[in-house]
């Protein structure tokens, strides 16, 4: 694995760990945001390994298609892509993101990220 790929992959795993810490501390919007970030960085690690550069996008469906991610994970990518915007901008909801994300949503987002990272880990370990 190339050094740059390793850096992105390691940060993806750290973001997922931080998502879980925020979840445990009931900071659900941050847990959701970091879940999206973990998935994005993991998919970009796959692209770095195969293409040597990554697109500057946050659309996980776009990244999923480029990496050949299992299509069964596409709906999870679509959900996490929306999280990127919803957690960052207070005017997306009628209330701030800190009040809009629930324990159940954050748990779901963490699970989605875990599934995407599991796929990426298998893919990266082949290289």
pTM: 0.93
Q: Is the dihedral of CA 62, 66, 71, 72 positive or negative?
A: negative
- Quickly state the pLDDT bin for 97 (edges 50, 70, 90): confident
- Could you tell me which CATH number the domain at 3-125 has? 1.20.120.330
Give dist(CA 82, CA 18) in Å, integer. 20
The tokens describing 5, both together, are 């790929």
Backbone angles phi, psi at 69, to 5 degrees: -55, 145
- Quickly state the pLDDT bin for 23 (edges 50, 70, 90): very high
- pLDDT, tens digit, for every residue of 108-119? 999 999 999 999
- pLDDT, tens digit, for every residue of 27-42? 999 999 999 999 999 9
The full DSSP string for 90-102 is: TTSSSS-HHHH--
Domain extents for the chain? 3-125
């Amino acid at each position: 694995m190339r050094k740059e790929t390793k850096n992105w992959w390691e940060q993806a795993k750290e973001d997922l760990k931080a998502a879980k810490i925020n979840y445990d501390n009931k900071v659900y919007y941050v847990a959701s945001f970091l879940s999206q970030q973990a998935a994005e960085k993991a998919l970009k690690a796959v692209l770095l390994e195969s293409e040597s550069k990554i697109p500057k996008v946050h659309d996980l469906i776009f990244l999923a298609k480029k990496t050949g991610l299992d299509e069964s994970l596409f709906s999870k990518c679509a959900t996490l892509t929306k999280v990127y915007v919803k957690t960052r901008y207070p005017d997306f909801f009628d209330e701030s993101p800190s009040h809009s994300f629930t324990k159940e949503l954050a748990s779901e987002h963490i699970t989605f990220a875990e599934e995407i990272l599991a796929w990426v880990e298998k893919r990266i370990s082949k290289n």
